[in-house]
Amino acid sequence: MAAYLLRRLWQMVPTLLGVVLLVFLLFKAFGGDPAEILAGLNATPEQVAAIRQQLGLDRPWWVQLGLFLQQVATFDWGKSWATGEPVAQLFASRLPATLTVMLPILVLDTLLALPLALAVAAWRGSLTDRLVMVVTTVALSISFLVYIIVGQYLFAFQLGWFPVQGWSDSLWTNLTVYAPLPVMLAVLVGLAPQTRLYRSFFLDEIGQDYVRTARAKGLAERSVLLRHVLRNAMVPILTNIGLALPGIFVGSFLIEVFFSIPGLGREVLLAVNRSDYPVIQAVTVYVALLTMAVNLAVDLLYRWADPRVELR
């Protein structure tokens, strides 16, 4: 296990280096001149040149690349070009709000989709199965923006159960007052595709010979589903959760904008509009690191889900 972990960590280094080089080249080739954007339309060439010198954009590209690599290695991204706030401080202050929304979405989405998909797979071909498939198909056809508009109108304006916008410094207040509505809407959106996908995983396992053997031995159907089908389907389920986690992180950005949550996502969108390159580059590298770390964690969990899996 230790040798496999060290080898995987070493393999992440060239991958991260490739991401860093790609990010640097894309911003240099297609990002435009940040000095002109920050200076404004009425700025003189002297003002643009002064801003370019202040940001270090007048240096050779290899010097800028070296500074960028140094920032990645030290996790010191400097200051935001638009606000002057240190990027590290910006991340530290905005990330808790994002996690307050993202983690409940991931947990509830998984905990609700698993039993629902397992129950539907056990009743394959029944009226319940067909009804759930129809409902999930319709849910997949509706845009997330529709869920947000209808949810805000119904649960906030009409029923008054939740506030439309707001945030506080109290974690408990955020979890119980401000986060429930966006989390509920995001779970409703993610529940349909997850249920359909997990149902297919469970149906593949139910059709295997070991399930028929277990039933022939007189094992209760509940034990067959929970002890055998669910356990053997955990490998593709873990893979799907690992793939969905970065997507949930990025998808929470949209939620933060519509519900005015002072999280990292809203800050990133503001940085894109202001061409605040240090913030955008830092987020891009961090998302790449998150993706690689999640993939590594999923590979390690394979062994827990199925002891027959060998880590090589």
CA dist 292 → 14, 25, 118 (Å):
12, 21, 29
CA dist 211 → 126, 215, 225, 236 (Å):
20, 6, 9, 18
The values of phi and psi at residue 79, to 5°, are -115, 155
Measured CA to CA, the distance from residue 39 to residue 52 in angstroms comes to 10
Which residues in the chain land under pLDDT 70? 1, 4, 29-41, 55, 306-312
Location of structure tokens 């997507």: 247
Q: Domain 87-305's class?
A: mainly alpha
Nearest residue to 137 (alpha-carbon basis) of 149, 129, 148, 146:
129
255 touches 144 (CB < 8 A): no
Burial class (CB in 10 A: 0-12, 13-18, 19+), 125: exposed
The values of phi and psi at residue 221, to 5°, are -60, -35
Measured CA to CA, the distance from residue 73 to residue 86 in angstroms comes to 16
What are the residues facing 86 on neighbouring strands?
79
Token representation of residue 239: 């893979």
This prediction has a pTM of 0.76
Measured CA to CA, the distance from residue 116 to residue 110 in angstroms comes to 10
276 touches 81 (CB < 8 A): yes
CATH 1.10.3720.10 boundaries in the chain: 87-305
- The pLDDT, as a whole number, for residue 302 is 77
79: three-class secondary structure by DSSP = strand
Q: Residue type for 129, please? A: D
71 touches 78 (CB < 8 A): yes
Q: Residue type for 140, please? A: L
CA dist 310 → 1, 292, 299, 305 (Å):
9, 20, 10, 12
